[in-house]
Chains A and B, each alone.
Chain A
C-alpha cells in the first residue's frame, strides 16, 4: 500500500471534538490521536460515546437527524468534516465492520465484490476475481467458502458472516478499519478467530475497535482509550492502562467495580 504511513505516525487526530444529537451533547471536547499501523481500543460503559466517536471517523453520524459536530477531526491532516471532503471517498478510505454481521442478501462473491464494483476498482473480471480472492484470503475465510462462492452470504454461520463483512471492508483497500463491537454477537470460538484476524490485519491497516470486553482490548490492541460520560478519561499504551491506570475511574472500570 502506497499510502501506508510508518508505524506510530498520527493517522487520525481529534481536537476539541464535540458531537450533539439535537440538544443532547454526546461527546465533550475530545482530544485523541490514533496512530497508523496500530490497533486502538475504545472502552467504556454503555452510552459513554465511544461508538459515536467511531462513527464520526467515517461520518456515519451524518445520517442521524439532528447530529452536529464541532471542533476538528483530521485524517492525515485533512479535516474530515471539511466541506470539500467527499463522503463516498472518505468511506472508501475508512472501512467499517458492524456489531451485528450484516452481509447483503447476495452471494458470497457479490458481497465482497460490492465495494470494488461501486468504486470501479477492477478493470476486468480477472482483476475483480483477484481482489475478491485476496480479501477472502486475508479475512481467513477463503478455505471455508472457496467451493461455494455463489451461495448466499446469509447462509454462513455468525462468525463466518462477520469475517465475510471484514473481507468486504478489506476489498476496498481502506487505510483504516473501524470495528464497532465486532464480536459481541459471536461465540467464543468465532471471537478467537476474529481476534486473531485483527492481529494479522494490523500489518496493513490502522484499526480502531470499540469493545465491551476488557480481555479483548488487552489481547488485540496496542493503545487504549477509556471513555466516560462523553469524555476521554485516559489514553495510553494498552499495557499501561491495564496494569497501571492513572485515573481512579479507569481503575474502577477495568477492575469491574462499575460499568
Chain B
C-alpha cells in the first residue's frame, strides 16, 4: 500500500516535470517550436525521465533488498544464545517473529521484542527510502530542468532511453526461458545423481516409488522413461492422424473454395474450438468418446480399455484442428495469386491447381504448422490426464490405456512431495527431456517456415 502511494507520488512528479520542462523550453524560444532542436514534448519527456528513473530505480532496489536486510538486522538483535543456533532453527524463529508482527502472539519474550524491533525497522527503513526517493526525483528533475536549452538534443536521448526499455522487455521473455531451463536442469541433475542417466533414458520399466525402510515390500523403483515416451508418441500420432488431414482440408476449403460470406462465418466458428478449455475436452473424451470407442470395439469383438490412447488422441486431434487449419490457411493464402492464374490459364481445373501448384508452393509452411501442432500434442496435459489412463505399459496398441510424460509429471508432483526423493525429482528430468523435444520441434518448424518466406518476398 505504502509502496503504491509512493509510486503514485513519483508518477505525479513525473507528469509535473514533463509539463514544466516542455513549457520552459517553449518559453526560451518565445513559443516557436521550429527554433528547437527537437519537438517540445521530447524536452518534457527528458526532464520527466530524469525525475522518475533514479527514484524508481531506488524503489526497485529497495523492494528486492529489503527482506534480507531487515532479516539480518533482526537476527543481529536477538539474544546471543539464539544466534548460536543452527540456520534452520533461526529460520523457524524468524518465521515466528514474522507471525508475531502479523498479530499472532508469541510466548517467547525475546521474540516479542524482536517482533517489535522488526516492525520498527520496516517503518524506519521505508520512511528513509521514501524520503531519499522523493529527494532523488526532485533533484533529478531540477538538474534536468536547469540544463534545458533550445539546442539540447532531447529527442535522441529520450529515444535511446526508450530503446533500452524495449530491449529490456524483449529480453525478459528470453531470460525467463533460461531461468526455467536452469531450474529444470539443476533438479534434474540431482535426480541423475540418484538414478543413472542411462537407466532413465533407456529403461523399459516405470514404477516411480522409493522405499522408506530397506525391508519394505515394493522397494525397488524403476525410472525408465521409454514406456512414457511411447505413450506420448502413441497419443500424439493418433492426434496428428486426426488433426493433420482435417485441419489441412478445412484450410483448403476456407482459402480456395469458400465464398467470402461462408468464410467470414466459418472461420470464427472453427476458431471457437481453439477457445474451449482443454479440461472441457477432457470431459468430452472421458464421458463421450471413450465409452463410444469401447462399445464400438465390443461390436467387433475387441477389448478396449475404459481409458484408451485412442480416445485421448482423437479428442486431442480435434483440439489441434484450428491450429493447423489457421496456420495452413495463412500459408495457402500467401501463395501468390499469379501462380493460380498461371495454372488456370493453362486449362487446369481448380483441384489440379490446388494439388499440383498451390499445395507444393505452400508445403514448407504447412509442414512447419504441422510440426508446431506435434509439439503442442506432445506437451498437452489435461486431456491425457483425464482420458489416457495411468498405466505405464510399453505398447503400441491404441486401444490400451497408456500414460504419457506429462501425465506422470502431474501425478509425481500432486499432493505431499518430498524434494529429496527421486520420485519427485524424476518429474524435473521428464520435464527437461520434454522441453528439449518440443524446443527442437519448434526450432525446426520455425526454420522451415522462415525458409519458405524468403522465397516469395
CB within 8 Å of B: which residues of A?
58, 60, 63, 65, 87-92, 95-96, 98, 100, 102-106, 114-115, 118-119, 154, 165, 168-169, 172
Determine if A105 and B343 form an interchain contact, defined as CB atoms under 8 angstroms apart: no
Determine if A102 and B336 form an interchain contact, defined as CB atoms under 8 angstroms apart: yes
Contact of A114 (CB < 8 Å), options: B336, B341, B349, B356: B356
Verify if B455 is at the interface (C-beta below 8 Å from A).
yes
In the complex, what distance in Å separates the CA atom of A88 from the CA atom of B348?
6
Most buried by A among B336, B339, B347, B361: B347
User: Assuming A63-B344, A104-B339, A105-B339, what are 14 further A-B pairs, CB within 8 angstroms?
Assistant: A63-B341, A65-B260, A87-B347, A88-B347, A88-B349, A91-B346, A92-B346, A92-B347, A118-B346, A118-B352, A154-B455, A168-B346, A169-B345, A169-B346
Closest A residue to B350 by CB, please name it.
A63
**A162–chain B nearest beta-carbon distance, Å:** 12
> B339 contacts which chain A residues (CB < 8 A)?
102, 104-105
Determine if A98 and B347 form an interchain contact, defined as CB atoms under 8 angstroms apart: no
Interface size class of B (residues with CB under 8 A): 10 to 19
Determine if A104 and B357 form an interchain contact, defined as CB atoms under 8 angstroms apart: yes
Q: How many A-B residue pairs have CB under 8 A?
A: 67
Verify if B68 is at the interface (C-beta below 8 Å from A).
no
> A96 contacts which chain B residues (CB < 8 A)?
341, 345-346
Contact of B346 (CB < 8 Å), options: A63, A65, A115: A115
In the complex, what distance in Å separates the CA atom of A237 from the CA atom of B348?
35
> A169 contacts which chain B residues (CB < 8 A)?
345-346
Closest A residue to B360 by CB, please name it.
A105
Verify if B342 is at the interface (C-beta below 8 Å from A).
yes
Q: Mark B338-374, 1 if CB is under 8 A from A, else 0.
A: 1101111111110010001100110000000000000
Most buried by A among B336, B342, B356, B455: B342
**A84–chain B nearest beta-carbon distance, Å:** 17
**Known interface pairs A100-B338, A102-B336, A105-B361. Does A95 touch B356 (Cβ–Cβ under 8 Å)?**
no
> A95 contacts which chain B residues (CB < 8 A)?
345-346
* CB-CB nearest 8 A-B residue pairs: A96-B345, A91-B347, A102-B338, A92-B347, A115-B346, A102-B342, A88-B347, A105-B361
Determine if B347 and A172 form an interchain contact, defined as CB atoms under 8 angstroms apart: yes
Can you list 11 A-B contacts (CB < 8 A)? A58-B345, A87-B347, A88-B348, A95-B345, A95-B346, A100-B338, A102-B342, A105-B455, A114-B343, A118-B348, A172-B347
Most buried by A among B346, B348, B352, B360: B346
> B342 contacts which chain A residues (CB < 8 A)?
98, 102-104, 165, 168
Determine if B338 and A98 form an interchain contact, defined as CB atoms under 8 angstroms apart: yes
> B343 contacts which chain A residues (CB < 8 A)?
104, 114
Determine if A91 and B352 form an interchain contact, defined as CB atoms under 8 angstroms apart: no
**A177–chain B nearest beta-carbon distance, Å:** 10
Closest A residue to B338 by CB, please name it.
A102
> B357 contacts which chain A residues (CB < 8 A)?
104
In the complex, what distance in Å separates the CA atom of A119 from the CA atom of B346?
9
**A98–chain B nearest beta-carbon distance, Å:** 6
> A165 contacts which chain B residues (CB < 8 A)?
342
> A119 contacts which chain B residues (CB < 8 A)?
347
Determine if B341 and A98 form an interchain contact, defined as CB atoms under 8 angstroms apart: yes
> B338 contacts which chain A residues (CB < 8 A)?
98, 100, 102
> A92 contacts which chain B residues (CB < 8 A)?
346-347
In the complex, what distance in Å separates the CA atom of A104 from the CA atom of B455?
12
**B232–chain A nearest beta-carbon distance, Å:** 35
**B455–chain A nearest beta-carbon distance, Å:** 7
Most buried by A among B336, B344, B345, B360: B345
In the complex, what distance in Å separates the CA atom of A169 from the CA atom of B347?
10
Determine if B341 and A89 form an interchain contact, defined as CB atoms under 8 angstroms apart: no
> B352 contacts which chain A residues (CB < 8 A)?
118
In the complex, what distance in Å separates the CA atom of A172 from the CA atom of B341?
16
In the complex, what distance in Å separates the CA atom of A191 from the CA atom of B102?
86
> A102 contacts which chain B residues (CB < 8 A)?
336, 338-339, 341-342
**A99–chain B nearest beta-carbon distance, Å:** 8
Contact of A91 (CB < 8 Å), options: B260, B344, B360: B344
In the complex, what distance in Å separates the CA atom of A91 from the CA atom of B347?
5
Closest B residue to A119 by CB, please name it.
B347
**Known interface pairs A100-B338, A154-B455. Does A172 touch B361 (Cβ–Cβ under 8 Å)?**
no
> B341 contacts which chain A residues (CB < 8 A)?
60, 63, 96, 98, 102
> A63 contacts which chain B residues (CB < 8 A)?
341, 344
Determine if B344 and A114 form an interchain contact, defined as CB atoms under 8 angstroms apart: no
Chain B, 220-275, CB within 8 A of any chain A CB: 260
Contact of B345 (CB < 8 Å), options: A60, A65, A89: A60
In the complex, what distance in Å separates the CA atom of A60 from the CA atom of B440?
45
**A101–chain B nearest beta-carbon distance, Å:** 9
> A172 contacts which chain B residues (CB < 8 A)?
346-347
In the complex, what distance in Å separates the CA atom of A106 from the CA atom of B455?
13
Q: Mark B307-344, 1 if CB is under 8 A from A, else 0.
A: 00000000000000000000000000000101101111
Closest A residue to B349 by CB, please name it.
A88
> B349 contacts which chain A residues (CB < 8 A)?
88, 118
Determine if A104 and B347 form an interchain contact, defined as CB atoms under 8 angstroms apart: no
**Known interface pairs A104-B339, A105-B360, A118-B352. Does A98 touch B345 (Cβ–Cβ under 8 Å)?**
yes
Determine if A104 and B361 form an interchain contact, defined as CB atoms under 8 angstroms apart: yes
Determine if B347 and A89 form an interchain contact, defined as CB atoms under 8 angstroms apart: yes
In the complex, what distance in Å separates the CA atom of A20 from the CA atom of B263?
24
In the complex, what distance in Å separates the CA atom of A155 from the CA atom of B352?
24
**B361–chain A nearest beta-carbon distance, Å:** 5
> B361 contacts which chain A residues (CB < 8 A)?
104-105
In the complex, what distance in Å separates the CA atom of A169 from the CA atom of B341?
12
Chain B, 159-212, CB within 8 A of any chain A CB: none
**B346–chain A nearest beta-carbon distance, Å:** 4
> A114 contacts which chain B residues (CB < 8 A)?
343, 346, 348, 356
In the complex, what distance in Å separates the CA atom of A104 from the CA atom of B342?
8
> A98 contacts which chain B residues (CB < 8 A)?
338, 341-342, 345
**A94–chain B nearest beta-carbon distance, Å:** 9
**A65–chain B nearest beta-carbon distance, Å:** 7
Closest A residue to B363 by CB, please name it.
A105
Determine if A115 and B455 form an interchain contact, defined as CB atoms under 8 angstroms apart: no
**Known interface pairs A102-B339, A105-B360, A106-B360. Does A115 touch B347 (Cβ–Cβ under 8 Å)?**
yes
